[in-house]
């Protein structure tokens, strides 16, 4: 266990030590990569269906009916180059269309008091304060239910993501192929300080799809929203998120949005109204 919410700034002089091959330090994956690919080191929205219309709406109609209070407007919320104007928003949308400013570093990064499978004091232990507190509550509730979780990788700077991506370009031979397993710099949710990859001993603390079939992954699927988190990249949503299923990737969005997305079974893109595209 770590000291509760110990502030650590990205500029803190922390030497990132090479991970041991037999620990989950190898699982310092970028947002979209399993552990074996590691090479370097943003009130419930109630349905407002017309009571006079009993036809069952399709998913996109349902999403559009519920996203208006938090809808994302590219003309006002992003620059002409699709860079977010407010990267500190709890609902900041970082994906293959919208990116975070390269210099952005959250100013409230702290270390959550949860279990990590490594001892090194690395920036990936960090989350923004609100997400760190929520993660502590989630881990405590999981433990009360007999579920043991480990935090693997949280905050990641633009520069670090750049190094990870460059390594994967070398490994896979092209940027296009590298982008299937890792995010371009600026497009990683980890830079927001609101995302934490988690795993369990049942899968060797690796970041693998099999986690979703284990009791720990099932518990996360059923309970993460109670603490303001979503499973950011769900099954069968690759056409929307452009990333494969990642049962390990928790993104903090706040309790009300998380509950709305859970109940409606929609992605962050759908909740914010950017999918389907107009």
Does residue 246 carry a catalytic annotation?
yes
Active-site residue, from 10, 25, 38, 246 = 246
**Residue 113, beta-bridge partner list:** none
198, β-bridge pairs? 151
Q: Give me the DSSP letters along 21-74.
A: TTSGGGG---TT--GGG-------------TT--SPPPHHHHHHHHHGGG---H
Write a three-state SS string for 196-253: EEEECHHHCCCCCHHHHHCHHHHHHHHHHHHHCEEEEECCCCHHHHCCCCEEEEEEEC
CA 117, CA 203: separation in Å to the nearest integer? 13
Bridge partner residues of 153 (DSSP): 197
- Catalytic sites, residue numbers: 246
């Amino acid at each position: 266990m770590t000291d509760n919410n110990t502030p650590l700034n990205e500029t803190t002089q922390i030497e990132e030590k090479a991970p041991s091959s037999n620990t989950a330090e190898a699982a310092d994956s970028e947002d979209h990569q399993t552990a074996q690919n590691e090479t370097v080191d943003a009130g419930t929205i109630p349905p407002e269906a017309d009571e006079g219309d009993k036809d069952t709406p399709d998913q996109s109609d349902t999403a559009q009916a519920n996203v208006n209070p938090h809808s994302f407007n590219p003309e006002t919320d992003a620059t002409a180059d699709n860079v977010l104007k407010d990267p500190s928003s709890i609902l900041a949308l970082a994906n293959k269309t919208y990116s975070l400013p390269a210099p952005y570093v959250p100013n409230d990064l702290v270390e959550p008091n949860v279990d990590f499978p490594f001892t090194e004091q690395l920036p990936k232990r960090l989350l923004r304060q609100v997400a760190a507190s929520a993660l502590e509550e989630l881990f405590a509730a999981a433990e009360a239910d007999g579920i043991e979780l480990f935090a693997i990788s949280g905050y990641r700077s633009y520069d670090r993501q750049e190094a990870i991506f460059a390594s994967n370009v070398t490994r896979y031979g092209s940027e296009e192929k590298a982008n299937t397993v890792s995010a371009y710099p600026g497009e990683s949710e980890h830079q927001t300080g609101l995302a934490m990859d988690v795993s369990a001993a049942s899968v060797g603390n690796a970041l693998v799809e099999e986690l979703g079939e284990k009791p720990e992954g099932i518990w996360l699927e059923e309970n993460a929203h109670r603490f303001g988190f979503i499973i950011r990249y769900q099954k069968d949503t690759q056409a929307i998120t452009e990333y494969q299923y990642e049962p390990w990737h928790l993104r903090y969005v706040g309790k009300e949005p998380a509950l709305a997305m859970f109940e409606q079974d929609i992605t962050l893109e759908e909740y914010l109204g950017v999918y389907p595209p107009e």
